[in-house]
Structure formats: structure tokens, C-alpha cells
């Protein structure tokens, strides 16, 4: 794949703090998984390709999320954790309720720290929200979280399920609250979960918003509600934006626009990710591993 296809482009305006983490990206490796083969140019988005991008941007840590085309085959994610370095890499897997305890332990030992339910785009969804009640208690025992990619309407529809989850919750892509007219009902649920103390939000996917101003407003509203439980992700290689993805560096520039305070950005990029994913502390004062 040509570098121009990856569209890394641009330059991050401010140097990133040590331990900065990209908490949301996807990898596709046809050398590991033959079918279903992802469409070009996603097929070239391997761990080695991402490492070059990560190093160029000044990022040090990564959280790989198994993409929908791989269904519940998490081999690419597990292999990439080893390639990028298990000390600085974690994964979010996709599983079905029939997953065995032995497989969950295998995933944990390989660096997986959560499972994802992506239902926001029904045509590509491989999981269902009604799978959550069976899986959540099992992953909770491992100290994992459930990551939810849902539209605001789906959040409202699934309120009772979400409120009863025993484990930590992570909402993808700002809970899609910036997609269109602001959904006060969904916001009330997200805010309530944030105040309950075990819910996190990924400040990612800003280009999915109705407009940049909407993304900025929602990101700032979320960060004001729970600054200690926001993390940032690039969503590389931006699969929803194919065949013309945005410059990846622009997603970091967007974070700088959303969160002007450098200390708060450091908290989002480093400290919060350490707590959620169990990385060693980047601070010389000690460790923060879970």
C-alpha cells in the first residue's frame, strides 16, 4: 500500500507526552486471516504499517479493536499485540456467548482487555446487544470492559440492559452523540453512567459528526462531565471513510481543538488510558498497572 493511500498527512501541532495512547484502531492482515478478505485499501493495514504511523506521530501505546470483517476471529489482534509490543499494546476482542472460559483466558493472556459490541451500522453488525447480559458477568470476572458502538437511539432502546451491566462500559466514538441533532435522552443515560463511576468514552470518530462544531461541542461536554474517564483514539485506518480517509494526524489536531488545555490532553492520552487498559505508568514516580 502506498503511503498516500494511508493518508497520514498533516503534522501534529504539539509534541505528544510520553506514553500517549491511541485507544482505538483496527488492523487487517490477509496473511493471518484469508477470509473474509477486507476490501482494498484496508487489506494493507497491518501491524507493521501502523507501527510506522504510530512512531511518526509520536504515539507509544495502542489499543487494537477487532474489526467487523474478522467477526470473532481475533488472531490478527492477538498477533499485532505481540508485534507492537505487549507492554505497550492491548486489544478489544469480539466474541459470541458460546465462547469458552479457556478461550477467554487465552485472550486475556494475549493482552485482550475488553469485548466490543458494534451495532451502530446494522448491515455490518456481527453481534447483538441481547448478547450482553450473558457475556458481561464473564468478562467482568477478568477485569475487562464492554465497548459499545451504538447510536443514540440504540442507547435509549437498550437503557435497561446498559444500566444493569456489572462491568465497566466504554462508549465508542463519543456515543455517536455528535452525529445529528443532539439527543438529550441518550445524553442523560451516558451522563448518568459517567456519574456512576465505571463508564468511559472514546473521544474518537469526530469525522462521523454532522459537522466539526458538533464534534467539538460534544467532546467538550463529555470531557467536562468526566475528564478522568475520557480516552482518545484515531480510528485508523478510518474504515467508514474509505476510499478517501482523513489524514490520521488530523484526528490528533482535532483533540487539541476539542481539549485546548495541555494538562487535560495529557490526562486523556496517557493517565486515563493507563487506568483503563492497565499499562505501566509513564510517570517516573511509579507504576499504575492493574
Rounded CA-CA distance 112/76 in Å is: 12
DSSP state of 87: T
Integer angstrom CA distances of residue 194 from 8, 14, 188, 230, 285: 33, 29, 10, 10, 28
Which residues does the chain have with pLDDT short of 50? 1-11, 285-290
pLDDT for the residue numbered 177: 98
The pTM assigned to this predicted structure is: 0.92
54: nearest Cα among 44, 65, 66, 46:
46
Rounded CA-CA distance 80/121 in Å is: 25
Rounded CA-CA distance 13/141 in Å is: 41
Rounded CA-CA distance 125/232 in Å is: 23
pLDDT for the residue numbered 29: 87
278: left (phi over 0), alpha (psi -120 to 50) or beta: left
Residues in the chain: 290
Amino acid at each position: 500500500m502506498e503511503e498516500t493511500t494511508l493518508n497520514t498527512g498533516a503534522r501534529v501541532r504539539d509534541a505528544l507526552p510520553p506514553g500517549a495512547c491511541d485507544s482505538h484502531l483496527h488492523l487487517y492482515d490477509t496473511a493471518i486471516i484469508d477470509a473474509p478478505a477486507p476490501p482494498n485499501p484496508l487489506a494493507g493495514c497491518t501491524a507493521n504499517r501502523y507501527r510506522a504511523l504510530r512512531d511518526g506521530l509520536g504515539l507509544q501505546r495502542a489499543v487494537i479493536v477487532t474489526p467487523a470483517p474478522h467477526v470473532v476471529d481475533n488472531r490478527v489482534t492477538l498477533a499485532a499485540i505481540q508485534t507492537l509490543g505487549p507492554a505497550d499494546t492491548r486489544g478489544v476482542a469480539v466474541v459470541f456467548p458460546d465462547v469458552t472460559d479457556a478461550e477467554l483466558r487465552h485472550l486475556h493472556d494475549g493482552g485482550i482487555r475488553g469485548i466490543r459490541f458494534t451495532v451502530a451500522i446494522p448491515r455490518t453488525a456481527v453481534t447483538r446487544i441481547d448478547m450482553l447480559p450473558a457475556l458481561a458477568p464473564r468478562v467482568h470476572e477478568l477485569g475487562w470492559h464492554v465497548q459499545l458502538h451504538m447510536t443514540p437511539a440504540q442507547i435509549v432502546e437498550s437503557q435497561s440492559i446498559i444500566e444493569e451491566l456489572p462491568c465497566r462500559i466504554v462508549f465508542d466514538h463519543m456515543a455517536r452523540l455528535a452525529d445529528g441533532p443532539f439527543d438529550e435522552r441518550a445524553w442523560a443515560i451516558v451522563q448518568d453512567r459517567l456519574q456512576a463511576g465505571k463508564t468511559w468514552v472514546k473521544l474518537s470518530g469526530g469525522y462521523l459528526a454532522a459537522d466539526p462544531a458538533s464534534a467539538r461541542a460534544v467532546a467538550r461536554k463529555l470531557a467536562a462531565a468526566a475528564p478522568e474517564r475520557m480516552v482518545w483514539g484515531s480510528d485508523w485506518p478510518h474504515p467508514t471513510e474509505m476510499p478517501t480517509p482523513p489524514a490520521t494526524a488530523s484526528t490528533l489536531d482535532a483533540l487539541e481543538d476539542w481539549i485546548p488545555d495541555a494538562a487535560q490532553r495529557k490526562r486523556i492520552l496517557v493517565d486515563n488510558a493507563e487506568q483503563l487498559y492497565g499499562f505501566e505508568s509513564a510517570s517516573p514516580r511509579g507504576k499504575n498497572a492493574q
